[in-house]
Structure 1
Amino acid sequence: MSALAWLPAALAGVLALHAVVNARLLRRPVAVDFPEPVAVLLPVRDEAARVEPCLRSLLGQRGVPELAILVLDDGSTDGTADLVRAVAGDDPRVRLLTGAPLPPGWLGKPHACQQLADAADPSAAVLAFVDADVVLEPGAVAGAAALLRSAGVGLLSPYPRIVVGSWGERLVQPLLQWSWLTFLPLRALERSARPSLAAAGGQFLVVDRSAYRTAGGHAGVRSSVLEDIELARAVKRSGGRIALADGSRVAACRMYGSWGELAAGYTKSLWASFGSAFGASAVVGLLLLVYVVPVLLTVAGLASSSALLVLAGCIGYALGVLGRVASAAATGGRWWPDALAQPVSVLLFGWLVVRSFRLRRAGALRWRDRPVVL
């Protein structure tokens, strides 16, 4: 029993160390000039409340002499297209497209992205997909495109700095960067040809156009809820390589404006993140063991006057917090006091996973007034 009490602490220590090592290996875009033509592709659907900062940041990009900005309005009903026209003015770099009706077998995001890629000028050697909730620094596109080339990969995912407001966001959103820094071996991910060893974030995604075409583009992931990760896997399947990067110095993103939006967003996609309910159970079980059990051990130790349980629990808890601090420091996130609530974050994440599977079984998953599961 005494040995088992130390298992969560041992696992938390290994994972925290891995996060620290990954943080030192992180690639980061820097502002440099990029000589090749780049097409920035922005899909929008009912984004009138938040697209303006994104679009203004795109208009302010520097370092790419041949930059085109394509915006696709995917059936908005809130005046998004009018706002885009007003902000873009007569800037010749901007083209506003009207999205075609959603065909059978497609989800909305992949369809919008494929239309944008098809409409980009053939001279654009690099495609940069950007979501409407992302705000870029002036050299972000040039720096990310240059890093794509210097890393020698076909797809680069520079994760933006996550901006949070409500306590729900502060508890759950930092788990995005924390998860891949903690569990993914970044350099092995770049070298390995295994599609299963892949990750990407669709908020800001930079791809070599020929690699994108060879992988089948978004048409190849047309029905995927996690089209960003599936596109990364498709690039690997077609012989390309991918890389993750810390984009917190060049991009910021507030994905959700409230706990309600966050819960809806995570619920629509978490079921697709694990491959099966068994896989989800295994992952959530591991997270509970490593990050929640130490708290229970501490409480049990205090109740039973067991110094061993208290010590094992406190050390396990501290190492879990350390891993969260390391990921926040490496990716521009807030760690104080949010990292101290890591056990609560894990519990909330587990609840969201359960909710996602439950609503999927009920056929009740929808996003932006469209069904999620085809």
Structure 2
Amino acid sequence: MTTLALIALVLALIPAALAAGNLLALRAPRPAAGDDLVSILIPARNEAANLPETLGAALASRGVPIEVIVANDHSTDDTPGIVAALAARDPRLRLIAVPPLPQGWTGKNHACHVLAQAARGRHLLFIDADVRLGPDAAAALAVAAGRRGTALLSGVPRQITGSLGEGLTVPMINLLLLGYLPIPLARRVPHPALGAACGQLVLIEGEAYRATGGHAAVRASLHDGVQLPRLFRRAGLRTDLVDGAPLAACRMYASFGQAWAGFSKNAHEGMATPRALPVWTLLLFGGHLLPWLLVLAGETAGLPALLATMATRAAVTVKAREAWWTIPLHPLAVATTLALQWNALLRPRQAGAATWKGRTYPVA
């Protein structure tokens, strides 16, 4: 076996081994019944197309008492009208208005902060406006968090991909999470760096939220899925991940352009840092792209690494209940991820501001 093939095999076996352990450790909480009120909190800025289905799913929650609160964040479409019409028929639904965005805040964090202040529940279930909850999701998460003594419990919803552009970007969420975060270790070691969450689906115990400052403590962040669990772990509180695919579904983006912009928005708080990105490039290029290059060059010694990386991707795709047709796109998806992250890191500072939902934020 050549040196390059051996390197590729080692780098391919790292995510394969981590994914194997994570797939065994990651479970969806079972349906359960509880008595504590769960506040389902939805920040909404121009979400008229998503809200009818999202609210219908949230209001169909069973097993626990719920309230659903939507924060209208200065929408210019019919977001408030849709919510108000549904609220007139269901007293469990409320619409609140988000005040003007204060300096130093990002829009979602501010809206979530306002939502938490209005919530009455013991548990705060933050979901994005494009997330469709399963009927047992709120109860299962709340009861599981109470039994485990977990202050923050999160999972990645089943990601719906309807276009090639989405298939090249969105499935990398679960590949990176399950292939590179040692979840069993994260449950035993409370180090903040091992904290992770998916901002699409996060359940937080209300007292813990207030004690840590919640979104106010990470007000400038564009990536609450990274910053909130680290905040909680620094405060000595437990965070954990569950299998979110059976609990909820989400179509994040509808095109490659939307996906590129969305993932670029929070790249600087994840992989796209001068220290982290070279390491990620070594791991992703060496473990997922190099095996393909070796095999295409006629080097059969690269075949074990290729089989390992594709088996990892297939196993993660099955676990996450994602579209099977995205599996053959894996090497292109990895290349796209690296291109996106390097673009975010290297683009000129004056062009390095993140724009989202009509707002522009400076990149640290």
CA drift at 1:271: 2.0
Distance 1:257 1:360 in 2: 28
The residue aligned with 2:229 is 232
The residue aligned with 1:142 is 139
Q: Is the 8 A contact 2:272 2:344 kept in 1?
A: no
CA drift at 1:150: 2.2
The residue aligned with 1:345 is 333
Distance 1:161 1:325 in 2: 15
Q: Structure 2 stretches of 5 or more lacking a match?
A: none
- Please list the CA deviations of residues 37-86 of structure 1 after superposition, one character each: whole Å capped at 9, or x if unmatched: 11111110000111111111011111113x11111000000111101122
Q: Is the 8 A contact 1:215 1:231 kept in 2?
A: no
Distance 1:225 1:166 in 2: 25
CA drift at 1:327: 0.9
The residue aligned with 1:306 is none
Q: 1:313 corresponds to which letter in structure 2?
A: G
Q: Is the 8 A contact 1:144 1:158 kept in 2?
A: no
Identity %: 37
CA RMSD of aligned residues (A): 1.5
CA drift at 1:275: 6.7
Q: Is the 8 A contact 2:21 2:184 kept in 1?
A: no
The residue aligned with 1:11 is 11
The residue aligned with 1:197 is 194
Q: Is the 8 A contact 2:18 2:179 kept in 1?
A: yes
TM-score normalised according to structure 1 size: 0.93
Distance 1:291 1:117 in 2: 41
TM-score normalised according to structure 2 size: 0.95
CA drift at 1:352: 0.8
Change (3 A) 1:223 1:360: farther
The residue aligned with 1:27 is 27
Moved more, 70-79 or 362-371: 362-371
Matches within 5 A, 1:96-111: 96-111=95-110
1:323 maps to 2:312: yes
Distance 1:363 1:11 in 2: 31
How many residue pairs end up in the alignment?
362
- Please list the CA deviations of residues 197-249 of structure 1 after superposition, one character each: whole Å capped at 9, or x if unmatched: 11111111001111111221110000011122211111101110110111111
The residue aligned with 2:257 is 260
Distance 1:360 1:64 in 2: 50
1:295 maps to 2:270: no
CA drift at 1:360: 6.5
1:175 maps to 2:164: no
Q: 1:115 corresponds to which letter in structure 2?
A: V
Q: Is the 8 A contact 2:273 2:345 kept in 1?
A: no
Distance 1:14 1:238 in 2: 31
Matches within 5 A, 1:1-374: 2-65=2-65, 67-121=66-120, 124-274=121-271, 276-300=273-297, 302=298, 309-310=299-300, 312-335=301-324, 337-359=325-347, 361=349, 362-373=351-362
Distance 1:15 1:77 in 2: 44
Equivalent position SS for 2:20: helix
4+ residue runs over 4 A deviation: none
Q: Is the 8 A contact 1:165 1:257 kept in 2?
A: yes
CA drift at 1:333: 1.6
CA drift at 1:268: 1.1
Q: Is the 8 A contact 1:271 1:360 kept in 2?
A: no
